[in-house]
Amino acid sequence: MWQKIEQINNILRQQGKSIIQVKDVGRKQYGYIPQAVFDAVNQVIGPENWKYAVLDIEPTENQVIASVEVLIRFGDDEWLSRGPQFGSCNIVKGNLGDAKKGAITDAIQKCFSLWSIGSDAYAGKLQEIWEKGEPKDPQGQSKSQPKLEGVVFENKDGRILAKGKTYGKSAVLKASGFQWNAEEKVWWKKAA
């Protein structure tokens, strides 16, 4: 299992700044975009080999707090958990549904951290990556696009196109500055 966890963490590390989010809550907090973590877990462990259960969810005046347990399958039908975790999300413009989803997502990521999945976020390593930025090539372009299995990047007519198996990877692509062109059916961004 620890080999798989290291594989997941390596997938996250290879994507660099493109999957890091910064929240200012009186101080800056650096974390992974949740979808990037879930995509990496699904890629290595498989979506059928983990699940979560919401144990409790409670709205307060300004936020929602959720208690969630993540279970990972070992063997044929043995599910293990490292214990429940709490997550929270602020209620913005009265949108209770989004706050509930956010609190659950936050709690799932915290459960994964008990398995050391996404451990760089909790070790403070993401701030360094965020502040250093991505390495640049001589033309000023970022050397690294997100590392996504089945996705290739093409520099064409002043744009970088993401081609291949992009389905289900929109959160990472958006975080990397890509946008969807429905007419061409392609993710793209301006070349720097």
Tens-place pLDDT, residues 155-167: 887 888 888 888 8
Tell me the average pLDDT across 181-189: 88
Domain boundary among 132, 161, 176: 132
Do 111 and 73 lie in one domain? The reply is yes
Give the 3-state DSSP-derived string for the chain, with helices as H, strands as E and coil as C: CHHHHHHHHHHHHHCHHHHEEEEECCCEEEEECHHHHHHHHHHHCCHHHEEEEEEEEEECCCEEEEEEEEEEEECCCEEECCCCEEEEEECCCCCHHHHHHHHHHHHHHHHHHHCCCCHHHHCCHHHHHHHHCCCECCCCCECCCCCCCCEEEEEECCEEEEEECCCCCHHHHHHCCCEEECCCCEEEEECC
- Residue 166 confidence (pLDDT): 86
pLDDT in tens, 39-58: 999 999 999 999 999 999 99
- Residue 133 confidence (pLDDT): 62
Do 114 and 142 lie in one domain? The reply is no
Domain boundary among 132, 155, 184: 132
Do 123 and 64 lie in one domain? The reply is yes
pTM: 0.67
Do 110 and 153 lie in one domain? The reply is no
* Residue ranges making up the domain that contains 70: 2-132
Do 170 and 96 lie in one domain? The reply is no
Number of compact structural domains in the chain = 2
Do 119 and 140 lie in one domain? The reply is no
Domain harbouring 14, CATH code: 3.30.390.80
Do 64 and 141 lie in one domain? The reply is no
Do 42 and 118 lie in one domain? The reply is yes
Do 177 and 90 lie in one domain? The reply is no
